[in-house]
Structure 1
Amino acid sequence: MLAAMPPTPAPRPDRPGPPVRDRGDACPGALRLHSAADGSLARVRLPAGDLTVRQAHALADAADRLGDGRLSLTSRGNVELRGLPDDCGQDLTALLADAGLLPSVRHERIRNVLASPLAGLDRHTPSDVRLWARSLDALLCASEPARALSGRFLFVLDDGRGDVAGLGGDVTLLAESARRAPADTAYAPGAASGYGALLRVGDERAVLRIAADDVPRAALTAAEVFLAAAAERGNGAWRVRELPAARPLTAREVARALRAAGITAEYADPSDPGPVVPYADATAPGAVEGPDGRRAIVVLAPLGRLSVAQWRLLAGIADDDGHGALRLTPWRGIVVPGLPTALAARRLTDLAAAGLVTDPDSPWRRVTACTGLPGCAKSRRDVRSDAAAALSAGRPVPADGSEVPVGLPVHWSGCERRCGHPHGAWIDALATAEGYRTTAVGPNCPPPPPVSRETPRAGTVSRETAAPAPVSRETPPPPGAPPSAPAPSPSTPQPTNPRPQ
C-alpha cells in the first residue's frame, strides 16, 4: 500500500538534548579520509545507491589496489573503503573521478540521498523516485549554499511503499499517485509524471504536498531553509533534529520559502495511507518480478562487507545478464536489475555459493554490527567475530538470558556510539567491560542504563553475558550461512573510527 508518513524515528540510545556544535562535522568522504586503526577510510557517496558496472569495477579496483580487498556497505547505501595507505589520496581521487563518481569535489560529502531501492523494478511500483534523486543530486552539486550542509544531512525519497521514509531523513519526500491526491491537484508531466510527493522536514508532523516537477527543487530549498535556521538558532546544528526543541524547523517556515521560490506547497494529511497495492519488500533477498517480465535479484552482504571477488561477481552478472547497473540498499544489500526470468534463480544460486545472503529466512538478514576491533580503537570487542560466533551457535544475540522481542533487527556495538545502528525498534547488543548487555531499543522502551567505559580485561567473567569465542578464519560456517562472515585479520588499534552512515 502507499505508505502514510511514518511516525517519528526512534532516537539513538543515551542521546542527550540538542548539541551545541562549534565546528564542522568530521564525516569522512572520498577526498577527506579518516585515520582508523586499520588504516585510512574513505566513504564514497552514491546518491540513491546507483552504480554503473564501470563505476562498480572502479570501486573494486580501489579496494584491491589501495585498500584491504573488501568493500563495506553503509546504512545509507554508500560504500566505504578501508585499510587505505595515508598517501593514497591522489590515486584514489583519479580512480573515482575517471569513473564519474566525483561530479563535484566541493560537494562530494553532502551527496547523501537515499531512495527506494526497488523503485521502478517491481510490478506495482508507484513512482521511480530515483529520477528525482538524480535531479536533486545535480542541483546539490550546482548549489553554493548547499556546501555548508553537514556530511550527515540526509535526503530521503520514498516511492510510496514506505521502505525508506522512516530512516531518519532531514528532508523526506514520500511519493503519492494521482489516485491518492485531491481531485483538483494538478501535476505537470515530467520525470515522475502523474505523481507528486509529501515533504516533511525532520520529525515535524505537518507535511506539504509538492507537484512532481518541483520535488527536487523543493528538497534543496528545504535544506537551504534549514541552513538559515541553524545559523539563526545559533547552536550550529548539523541536522534538523539538532535544532533547539523550543525553536524547531517547521513546515510553515519551509512552505513560506517554497512559495517565495515559486513552488506550490499545500498542507496535506500525513496519515492517509492511500490505496492498497502489493509492493515487493526491498529488505528481503530473492527475485523480484518486474513490470516488463524481467527480474531484479536482491542479495545481502553478511554484516555489510564484501570481498572484491564477490563484488566483481555481482558486477559481472549486471553486465552480462542485467541492465548494466547495480543498486545498493540501506539494509546493506545489492540489487541487480533486469535479469531474464530464466536466469534469475540460477544467478541467485551462484551468489549464494559465493557467500552472499539470498534466502529471505536467513538469520543474517536481521543482524548488523559496527566495525569493532581491530578496525576501531574505541571498540571493546571484535563485535563482528562475536556476532558470527553467535549466529554459528544458532542465535542472533548474546546468550545473556535477556528476554528480548523476537523478530527485531539486532545490532552489535563495540561502544556507546552504536555506529550504523538501525532505525525504529531494534535489539542493542552492546559490548561492556564484562561481555555484552542486550536491551530492546524503540519509541516505547526506556533508555538503557550507562555502562562502564573500561576496556575489557582478559579473563573477565561476564555478569551480564560473557563474550562468545571469536570465529577462526579456518572455522567453516554452519549449514546455510555464508562463508564470508569471519572477522578481518587483527591489527594494532590506534585512532578512532567515524560513525558509519
Structure 2
Amino acid sequence: MLRVVQALDGGICRIKLDGGSIQASQAEAVASVAERFAGGVIEATNRANLQIRGIGLEHGALIEPLLAAGLGPRKPAGDDVRNLMLSPSAGIDRQMLFDTRPLAEQTLVTLQTQERFHELSAKFAVQLDGGEALAMLEHHHDLWLSALVRDGEPWLAFGLAGVPLDKPAGRVPLAQGHALVVAVLELFLELARPDQIRMRHLLAEIPMNEFMARLARRVPLQPCLDWQRDVSIDGLHIGIHPQHDDRVYVGAAAPLGRLDTAMLRGAAQLAREKGDGSLRFTPWQSLLLPNVRRADADEVLAGLEGLGLLCSVEQPLAQLIACTGSSGCAKALADTKADARQLAERLQGQGHALKAHLSGCPRSCAAAHVAPATLLAVAPGRYDLYFRDATLPGFGALQAHNLTIEALGHWLDARPRSPLDA
C-alpha cells in the first residue's frame, strides 16, 4: 500500500486485507480516495485484497486516509510481507474444524513486526485453511497449513511449495502452529540465496527430506500419512449460504474483478445495516457479507444485485476471469476485459456455461491457478485456446489457435460437451 506502482493507466495501490476482511468504514475510505485521487476503479484481487487503479500524482494524499482508516501495516517495512491467505468463511463455515483467525492474527503480527521476516519476498505467501467448504485450494503457497482433528484434538497438516490437496509433509498440534510458521520462515531465510525468493526455488536445490530434517530439529513434527483434504464446494462464494450458527452469509462477484465506488459504498452500507459491519473479499474476486439474519438475506442479495454485482453462478460473466488487458497494461496483447464481456454475451445467447481465464500475456496475472480453460492473447481480439491438463506444464493442452471471440462461439457450438463447460 505504501508503494504506488506505475501502469499504463496510472498508478496502482494494493491494499492488503487481514484475512480478506475489511470494515464498512474502511471500505468507504477506499471508495473515497479512489474517487478523489484515481479513476474510481477498484479491483478485487485473486489473493482477497483490493487495489486502486488509475492513480494520479498525489500518492501521499491517497495513502494518508488509508493509513488513518487502519488499512496500513503495523510497521512500514512489514507491508510487503503480510501475505497470509485465510478461507473467506473462516470462523463461520459449517464445515470448518476450528477457527483459524486467532492463529492468523498472531502470524500477521509476527510477519509485520519481526524485522528478520522483512527480508522475505513480497511474493512469499502462507495459507491457513480451517477445513472450510469455501476454501481456495488451487493457489500455490510457499507454506500451507490445513486443519485436522485426531482423537478430538486439533492439529495442523502442513506442506511446502504447494496446496492443501497435496500430500502433507507432516503435522503439528494447533498450539505449535505459530512456532512452525516461524521455524519454516527462519530456516528458509537461512538457506535461500538472494535469487531464491520462493520455497520452490530453494527446494529445487535442497532436497525436501533435508529441509524437513533441519526443520524437525527446531519444531517437533509428526508424520501425516492418512490425511487428505476434502475438496472445497464450488460456487459457495456467490449467493446465500448458511453459517455454522443460525445466520447466513451473502456473496456476490465483482464483474471481472472490478468494482466502482458506488458498488463498494453500497456493499458497505448493506453490511452495516444487515450484517456485522464487515465485508470479506475472496480469491474468486467476490465479496461476502457475513452474519446476516436469514430474514434479511433475500433483501441483501437483491441489494447487491442492484449495485451491479453478480449474484448467481449461472451468469456467464461470473465464470470468467480477465486480466487488466491492453487498456491498462503495456504487456497485454488484447483488451481482455472488453473481450470477456463480449464472450459473456455470446455465452448467454448460446446457453453455454464456461469457466475460462482471458490472459493478455503468458504471465497470467489474473489467475494464481490454471483455469479449466485459458484464452491466451496473441493479437488484439485473438486468442489461443488451452484446456487444463495435469500432465502438461503451463496452461495445458492447446486446442485452437488464433481464435476471435466470434470464432470461439462457433467452436463451442460445434463441441457442446467440451471440458470448458462449467
TM-score by length of 1: 0.74
Q: Which moves more between the two structures, 365-374 or 202-211?
A: 202-211
1:333–1:396 Cα change, 3 Å = farther
Q: Partner residue of 1:238?
A: 197
Residue identity matched to 1:224: E
| Residues 372-383 of structure 1: pairs in structure 2 closer than 5 A | 372-383=325-336
Deviations 1:473-499 (A, max 9, x none): xxxxxxxxxxxxxxxxxxxxxxxxxxx
Q: Does 1:438 align with 2:385?
A: yes
- The one of 162, 172, 181 aligned to 1:210: 172
**Conservation of the 8 A alpha-carbon contact between 1:78 and 1:328:** yes
CA separation in 2, counterparts of 1:201 and 1:244? Answer: 9
1:126 shift after superposition: 1.9
- The one of 184, 209, 221 aligned to 1:222: 184
| Residues 43-442 of structure 1: pairs in structure 2 closer than 5 A | 43-86=14-57, 88-102=58-72, 103-161=74-132, 163-177=135-149, 181=150, 183=151, 194-203=153-162, 205-231=167-193, 236-243=195-202, 245-248=204-207, 250=208, 253-254=211-212, 256-257=214-215, 259-260=217-218, 263-269=219-225, 272-273=227-228, 283-394=236-347, 409-433=355-379, 435-442=382-389
1:294–1:448 Cα change, 3 Å = closer
CA separation in 1, counterparts of 2:328 and 2:110? Answer: 36
Deviations 1:174-206 (A, max 9, x none): 0112xxx2x4x9xxxxxxxx5221111114855
Calculate the aligned-residue CA RMSD, in Å: 2.8
The percentage of aligned residue pairs carrying the same residue is 29
Deviations 1:396-426 (A, max 9, x none): 99xxxxxxxx977311011121212241452
Q: Which moves more between the two structures, 42-51 or 72-81?
A: 42-51
**Conservation of the 8 A alpha-carbon contact between 2:270 and 2:303:** no
**Conservation of the 8 A alpha-carbon contact between 1:380 and 1:433:** yes
Q: Partner residue of 1:478?
A: none
**Conservation of the 8 A alpha-carbon contact between 2:317 and 2:341:** no
CA separation in 1, counterparts of 2:94 and 2:170? Answer: 28
CA separation in 2, counterparts of 1:322 and 1:450? Answer: 44
Q: Secondary structure at the match of 1:339?
A: strand
**Conservation of the 8 A alpha-carbon contact between 2:41 and 2:259:** yes
1:153–1:448 Cα change, 3 Å = closer
More relative contact order in 1 or in 2 (CA 8 Å, sep 6+)?
Answer: 1
Q: Secondary structure at the match of 2:192?
A: helix
1:253 shift after superposition: 2.5
Q: Partner residue of 1:464?
A: 402
**Conservation of the 8 A alpha-carbon contact between 1:294 and 1:340:** yes
1:323–1:463 Cα change, 3 Å = closer
CA separation in 2, counterparts of 1:230 and 1:408? Answer: 41
CA separation in 2, counterparts of 1:266 and 1:368? Answer: 39
Residue identity matched to 1:168: H
CA separation in 2, counterparts of 1:95 and 1:254? Answer: 44
1:338 shift after superposition: 0.9
> Structure 1 or 2: larger strand share?
2
Deviations 1:350-374 (A, max 9, x none): 1112211111322223210110021
Unaligned runs of at least 5 residues, structure 2: 408-422
CA separation in 2, counterparts of 1:395 and 1:416? Answer: 27
Residue identity matched to 1:98: A
1:225 shift after superposition: 1.6
**Conservation of the 8 A alpha-carbon contact between 1:114 and 1:156:** yes
Deviations 1:128-154 (A, max 9, x none): 212221111011112111101111111
1:252–1:463 Cα change, 3 Å = closer
1:466 shift after superposition: 2.6
1:52 shift after superposition: 1.5
Q: Secondary structure at the match of 2:287?
A: strand
1:45–1:35 Cα change, 3 Å = same
1:106 shift after superposition: 0.8
**Conservation of the 8 A alpha-carbon contact between 2:237 and 2:284:** no
Q: Secondary structure at the match of 2:175?
A: helix
> Structure 1 or 2: larger helix share?
2
Q: Secondary structure at the match of 1:287?
A: strand
Residue identity matched to 2:384: R
TM-score by length of 2: 0.87
1:324–1:463 Cα change, 3 Å = closer
1:318–1:40 Cα change, 3 Å = same
